[in-house]
Structure formats: C-alpha cells, structure tokens
Structure 1
Amino acid sequence: MFDSWFQSAAAYNTLAGSGHLSCAVCGSAAVEKDLMAPRVRPDAAAPQTPAKPDAPAGAGQAAPRGAGPLSHPASVAEQAMAELRRKIEAESVDVGSRFVDEARRMHDGDLPKRSIRGEAQVGEAIKLLEDGIPIAPLPFLPKRRAN
C-alpha cells in the first residue's frame, strides 16, 4: 500500500485508464483507489490548539500499521526483493533499449559475454528465447521507470 495524490478523481481515472499508474514500491500495475477525504477542512469555529514545542506532533499515538517512509521496504518479502535488485544491479550492466541487440551479439560471438539487463518488447523477448538466447524477465522495473 502507498499514498499518492492526484489533481482530481478525473485525473486519476485518466491515468488509470491509460495504464500509466504503477506501485511506487514494487512496480505492479495493479493499483486501486482507496477511501479518501478530499477537501476536509477544520471547522472555522473549532479552537486551534498548537502542539507544545516539547512534544512532537503525534507523540504518544501509535503509528498506523504499515506506516513508514515509502523508500524503505516494509515486509520481509520487500526486503528480499530489494536485496535481489541490489545484487542484480551490482553484477550486471544496464544496456537499456539496446538489450535485444546486445544479447543477440553476445550469443553470436560478436561481443564478449557479460551479465546485462535492459528492456525488450514481449515479441522481441519471445524471439530471443526461440533463437536459443537465454534471457529472463526481472521482477522489478528499471529505476528510471519507477514512480
């Protein structure tokens, strides 16, 4: 679960309908809108009591389940996925959109073999596999495509 803000419900619907939404944590496109309270404002007559300087806002209150910065994996599975990502990124070269060409050239012996990662269209990936070129999809999006 993650929080995100949209200009309006129509803006969310447009982005969701065009497939431009993905989870900021795992990259999944299975993003759904949850209950929200837009335009909630305190009553003008309600007294505004400032927090005491020695007590941080929310002190003494339990944090909601799952609360925490989005930049840190929360569950054991997310931690394992983050570690897998670090290992793959440390041990391979990101060739981006040149992935198909680089993989084919290495397979044909035109380039030295090395661990690479990058992007390929589904049809291109299928063709590489049909041609006996060993590839596998990674379980995460490239950082430049993550939210």
Structure 2
Amino acid sequence: MKVLDLQCALGHSFEGWFGSQADYDTQRAGGLVTCPVCNDSEITKMLSAPRLNLGHGAAPEPTPGQGTPAAGAASAAGGLPGRAADTSSAAQALPDVSPEVLQEMQAAMMKVVRQVMANTEDVGSQFAEEARKIHYGEREERNIRGQATREETEALLDEGIDVMALPVPENLKGTLQ
C-alpha cells in the first residue's frame, strides 16, 4: 500500500492510499482522485518521505521538528496525527495561520460536516417546504438538510425559520463510511 500526501488547487491537504504509483496515476487520470473538502479534481502529489502501510507494527513516532497537531487532530481523509501537511496555497490565503492550525481547522470542519450528515435526514430539493411544515407543526420535529435557493433561504429566515448554509463536499453526500 502506497500512502501519498496530496493537495488540491485550493490548498487542502489530504492523504491518498493506493496499491501502487500506477494505481494513483490511473485513478487521477480518470478523475477519481478528488479533494475530500471541496471535491476539486486538480490534485498534485506533494513531496513527502515514502511510507508503506504494511498493516502491522506501531505507527512511527514523529521526528523532532515535524509538525504535531493537537492530540486527536488528523487529516480530513483520516490520516494519522502528527503528519505535517503542506498547506502552502491555504497559507498564502491566510498568511498569519500556521500550516498546523490550517490542518486542524480543516479536520474540525470535516468532523462537523460528518456529524451533521450523520444526524440529519436529507430532504433534497424539498428543504424549504419541509422546513415550513416542521416549523408550523404539520410534520414531526426532526433535523433535516437539503438544498434551497438563496430566495427560498431568505424567505424562510423572514418567516422566523432558522436555517444555516453548510457547504458539503460532494464526496460526503453519499453513504458515510
């Protein structure tokens, strides 16, 4: 198993696990390698020390000077804590934020999105209609998510119905693993 450090055009860093370099090249050429945060398929392989996942043994200890995010922080793709990721593009957009903090922010955002996805019912394009029915007591109260236009969202807010826009990466909209 080959573990690669990858980055999208927007600077989101993540890990990809592939059977070989040829598997990575084939999947990338087919548009199957996408950013877990923004679903961008313009992916570059970052310079990193090779690491093979052989499925046994303990994870290596971080070397001195290697970035070590707070305990429990990991890359959005489920990477191991303590692996520093290159977030140069994101760092340019937020020059006062360290790469470690950017990685922690990305992981925290993905955790929130996954929690929302796991604890809400997807009502799709019927979101505005379903939110009104719940608000006015026509349907049982439950947590829902879906799509609404800007106009529908503004109308819901004008009616006193609390809604919040949450950008969800395309690859999280399917079944959660």
Which structure is higher in strand share?
Answer: 2
Q: Which residue identity does 2:158 align to in structure 1?
A: E
Aligned to 2:129: 101
Unaligned runs of 5+ in 2: 1-6, 10-27, 51-74, 80-84, 86-102
Identical aligned residues as a percent = 29
- Is contact 1:92-1:115 (8 Å) kept? yes
Q: CA deviation at 1:34?
A: 9.8
Unaligned runs of 5+ in 1: 7-22, 36-60, 64-68
Structure 2 residue 150 is the aligned partner of structure 1 residue 130 = no
The structure whose Rg is larger is: 1
- Is contact 1:2-1:70 (8 Å) kept? no
Over the aligned positions, Cα root-mean-square deviation in angstroms equals 3.5
Aligned pair in 2 of structure 1 residues 70, 113: CA closer, same or farther (>3 Å)?
A: closer
Higher relative contact order (CA 8 A, sep 6+): 1
How many residues end up aligned between the 2 structures?
99
Return the TM-score normalized by structure 2.
0.44
Aligned pair in 2 of structure 1 residues 131, 104: CA closer, same or farther (>3 Å)?
A: same
Q: Which residue identity does 1:25 align to in structure 2?
A: P
- Is contact 2:35-2:43 (8 Å) kept? no
Q: Which residue identity does 1:87 align to in structure 2?
A: Q
Aligned pair in 2 of structure 1 residues 2, 34: CA closer, same or farther (>3 Å)?
A: closer
Aligned to 1:90: 118
Structure 2 residue 73 is the aligned partner of structure 1 residue 62 = no
- Is contact 2:37-2:110 (8 Å) kept? no
- Is contact 2:128-2:152 (8 Å) kept? yes
CA distance in 1, matches of 2:43, 2:116: 34
Q: CA deviation at 1:137?
A: 0.8
Aligned to 1:26: 37
Aligned pair in 2 of structure 1 residues 34, 133: CA closer, same or farther (>3 Å)?
A: closer
Q: Please identify, of 131-140 and 112-121, the stretch whose mean Cα deviation from structure 2 is larger.
A: 131-140
| Consecutive aligned runs of 4 or more in structure 1 exceeding 3 Å deviation | 3-6, 69-74, 141-145
Q: CA deviation at 1:98?
A: 1.2
- Is contact 1:98-1:118 (8 Å) kept? yes
